[in-house]
Amino acid sequence: MAETLAEKLEKSNLGHWMARFEGFMVFVGVVGPFATLPQLVKLYFTHSQHATGQSLLSWSLYAALSMLWFIYGMIVGKLPIYVGNGISMILNLLMVIGILIHAGVTF
C-alpha cells in the first residue's frame, strides 16, 4: 500500500524533530489564539461603536472552522490541534457574540 504524506513526514527528520517538541507546539497552540484578545478588548471595552466594521460572516467562519479542527484533533488525539483550536473556537465565538450584541446581524 502507498505510504501517506503523514506517514512519510513521521519517518522524516522533520517529523522526528517536531515530535520531540510536542510540548512547545502545545504552547504555540495555546498562545496563538490569544492574538484575538486585542480585538475582543476593543469590541467589548474600548471601541464597541466600531463593531459594525467587523465581519460577522468572517468571524462566524473562523469559529466554525476552529470547531471542525477541534473535533478533528479530538478524533486523532493530537493535543496541539485540539487545545489550540478549542481556545480559538471560544475566542472566535466571543467575537461573533460581541458583534451581534453591538452591531446586530452584519456582513
Q: What is the pLDDT along the chain (107 residues), one digit of tens a residue?
A: 577 877 777 778 877 777 777 788 888 888 989 999 999 999 999 998 989 899 999 999 999 999 999 999 999 998 888 999 999 999 999 999 999 999 998 77
Please report which residue ranges of the chain form alpha helices under DSSP H. 5-11, 13-20, 22-31, 37-41, 56-76, 79-103
**pTM of the predicted protein model:** 0.79
Domain containing residue 70: CATH number: 1.20.1280.290
Residue 80: which residues within 8 A CB-CB, separation 6 or more?
22, 25, 26, 28, 29, 73
Tell me if 95 is assigned to some domain.
yes
Tell me if 27 is assigned to some domain.
no
What is the extent of the structural domain holding 89? 55-107
Give 24: exposed, middle or buried? Use CB within 10 Å, 0-12, 13-18, 19+: exposed
Tell me if 39 is assigned to some domain.
no
Structural domains in the chain (count)? 1
